[in-house]
């Protein structure tokens, strides 16, 4: 089977695609998989790192303000399906799968017009523009949230499966992951923090304050923070100005390429509240502190995190709560959760977040994709 994956811009679109691709490859070693993305999206790094061939199509979103760049966007909207069809003719896929982001639109649109089986996956409660536009033309739309279907006018094509994750088929234990990553035994706790593939300035600032006011004072705590691509230089400057580069238990990186193992090893995770992130944390039963992005459609990250907060499955801080010199609420919460007094609450959060996991999402998607291809050939 030859499968063409597409989805890009951010890790929230790329990682589900890679998870599906990996699952196909794990179940069918003869499968040939390629990816279509953009040169400026995070897929340009993640896809080659995952070992898949990468084709490029130029496409971008329309700016809300009047702009000359919108003229080029309109031009690309017209020409990108032509480029996509050229790629499709060259690769000759039996199946095309899109996971959102603007690049999905020309690729899936072209494939559907050419009679190739097509599927979409939408991980968020509110479907993105590409998914809303493409849903009527594809054979299947996979959902993480049941309510997503209310925004899509094709109920016969919808299938709720949860979110595919990049976790290994057999997830390592915390101890196995720590050993694999080479985390010394002298560290009692491991904090993992990140703000998304492209970065998040306010979250990054809050985490650096946490490093300064807590981690630097606790040599038994190991802390790795991913800044994202856009914020790498700015955070690096802040990091040095705060004197954090002198501490061996604190590490600043641009992106975490071995996330399943880092997450398995973590005792506490600080991050955004995107649907994919929540699914992976739930799968691993991880204690999480969410700082939702306020710059998302319908504030869906806050709504995601609030559900978990109300269930006692996670902690939640809005960015505006952390806009102080100290970011004290975050520091206080982390210090408590990693203390003897907070151990019971941390363990309870680890247990309760598991209720939000759909452990067989990858397999369910894979089996349904096989059916799509078989039925299309009949």
Q: Which two three-digit tokens encode residue 84?
A: 């996509």
Using CA atoms, how far apart are residues 304 and 202, in angstroms rounded to an integer? 19
Q: What is the pLDDT of residue 68?
A: 54
Q: What is the pLDDT of residue 4?
A: 98
- The runs of H, that is alpha helices, within the chain are 11-27, 43-50, 69-91, 104-113, 129-134, 174-181, 201-213, 232-241, 259-265, 275-284, 300-310, 328-337, 343-353, 361-377
CB-based contacts of 347: which residues, under 8 Å, 6+ apart?
A: none
Residue 288's DSSP bridge partners are 269
In tens, the pLDDT along 276-307 reads 889 889 989 999 999 999 988 678 889 889 98
Q: What is the pLDDT of residue 64?
A: 46
Residues of the chain with pLDDT under 70: 60-77, 167-170, 197-199, 297, 378
Domains of the chain: 2-163+359-377 (3.40.50.2000), 174-356 (3.40.50.2000)
Helical axes 11-27 vs 275-284, angle rounded to 10°: 50
Q: What is the pLDDT of residue 66?
A: 47
Q: What is the pLDDT of residue 230?
A: 85
In tens, the pLDDT along 63-98 reads 444 455 555 666 666 778 899 999 999 999 999 999
Q: What is the pLDDT of residue 11?
A: 81
Q: What is the pLDDT of residue 357?
A: 84
Helical axes 11-27 vs 361-377, angle rounded to 10°: 70
Q: How many CB atoms lie within 10 A of CB 231?
A: 21
Q: What is the pLDDT of residue 74?
A: 67
Reported as half-sphere exposure (CB side, CA atoms, 13 A), residue 31 has a value of 22
CA 325, 328, 330, 336 torsion-angle sign: positive
Q: Phi and psi (nearest 5°) for 4? A: -110, 120
């Amino acid at each position: 089977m030859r499968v063409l994956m597409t989805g890009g811009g951010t890790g929230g679109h790329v990682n589900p695609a890679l998870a599906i691709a990996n699952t196909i490859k794990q179940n069918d070693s003869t499968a040939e998989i390629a990816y279509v993305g953009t040169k400026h999206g995070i897929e340009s790094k993640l896809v080659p790192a995952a070992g898949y061939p990468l084709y490029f199509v130029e496409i971008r979103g329309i700016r809300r303000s009047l702009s000359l760049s919108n003229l080029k966007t309109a031009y690309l909207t017209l020409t990108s399906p032509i480029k996509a069809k050229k790629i499709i003719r060259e690769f000759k896929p039996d199946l095309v799968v899109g996971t959102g982001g603007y690049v999905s639109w020309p690729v899936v649109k072209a494939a559907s017009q050419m009679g190739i089986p097509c599927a979409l996956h939408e991980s968020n409660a509110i479907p993105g523009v590409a998914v809303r536009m493409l849903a009527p033309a594809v054979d299947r739309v996979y959902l993480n949230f049941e309510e997503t279907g209310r925004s899509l006018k094709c109920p016969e094509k919808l299938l709720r499966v949860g979110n595919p994750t990049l976790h290994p088929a057999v997830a390592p234990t915390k101890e196995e992951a720590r050993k694999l990553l080479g985390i010394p035994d002298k560290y009692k706790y491991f904090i993992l923090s990140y703000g998304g593939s492209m970065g998040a300035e306010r979250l990054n600032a809050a985490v650096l304050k946490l490093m300064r006011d807590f981690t630097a004072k606790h040599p038994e705590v190991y802390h790795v923070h991913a800044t994202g691509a856009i914020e790498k230089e700015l955070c690096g400057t802040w990091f040095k100005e705060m004197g954090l580069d002198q501490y061996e238990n604190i590490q600043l990186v641009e992106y975490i390429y071995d996330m399943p193992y880092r997450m398995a090893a973590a005792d506490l995770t600080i991050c955004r509240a995107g649907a994919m992130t929540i699914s992976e944390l739930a799968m691993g039963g991880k204690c999480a502190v969410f700082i939702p992005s306020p710059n998302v459609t319908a504030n869906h990250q806050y709504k995601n995190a609030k559900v978990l907060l109300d269930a006692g499955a996670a902690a939640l801080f809005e960015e505006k709560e952390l806009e102080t010199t100290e970011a004290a609420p975050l520091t206080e919460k982390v210090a408590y959760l990693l203390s003897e007094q907070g151990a019971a609450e941390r363990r309870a959060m680890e247990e309760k977040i598991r209720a939000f996991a759909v452990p067989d999402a990858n397999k369910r998607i894979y089996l349904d994709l096989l059916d799509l291809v078989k039925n299309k050939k009949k």
